Amino acid sequence: MFKSFDPNQEYQKLTESKSVIRFQDCDPLRHLNNAKYFDYFFNAREDQVLELYEISPGDIFNKFGAGWVVYQHQIAYVRPAMVGETVKIMSRCIFYDDDTLIVEYFMTDIKRQQLKTLLWTTLKFIEVKTGKKTPHPVPVLNFLKAVTDTRFDKENTDINSRIKEIKEELINHSS
């Protein structure tokens, strides 16, 4: 782990991938089931981090005997993702401190014009043996420093205002 990670290098903060909404993940109205959004987001993030940074959650557990455990979710379902639709899934770290990480996930249509869902996941760094919070080791802090989008104002932003900001970003992106 961290073999190819260089804390002095500039790393991409926003990760992105495509996914097709599968029939078995949808409700009778052909909308992606609310609980399935989590699977799509977490699977995409795991693939994105491995591809961009060459790091997997298993690497962190093995090296440090600790890893991130979900503490809290905040999710807003803005527009439905539909069966057979190809969507874009973006994710980025937006905050970290000594033992906490917040990851922002959002899903859009394939053209990145319509926001479908926004998720904030707060994670705590937990030691496997004790099941208790533990500080991020220095290599993990260096990694988080390199990949976190520091423009996010945690204290003055709520999920509804963030939805508006992302919608504006999407409008500017498509212009």
**DSSP bridge partners of 75:** 119
Edge-to-edge strand list for the sheet holding 66-77: 15-20, 86-96, 100-109, 115-127, 66-77
- Has domain 15-174 been given CATH number 3.10.129.10? yes
pLDDT computed for residue 2 by the predictor: 56
**In the predicted model, what is the mean pLDDT of residues 111-133?**
97
CA distances from 55 to 69, 98, 127 (A): 17, 20, 19
pLDDT computed for residue 56 by the predictor: 85
pLDDT computed for residue 48 by the predictor: 95
Instruction: Tell me the C-alpha distance between 69 and 114, whole Å.
Output: 30
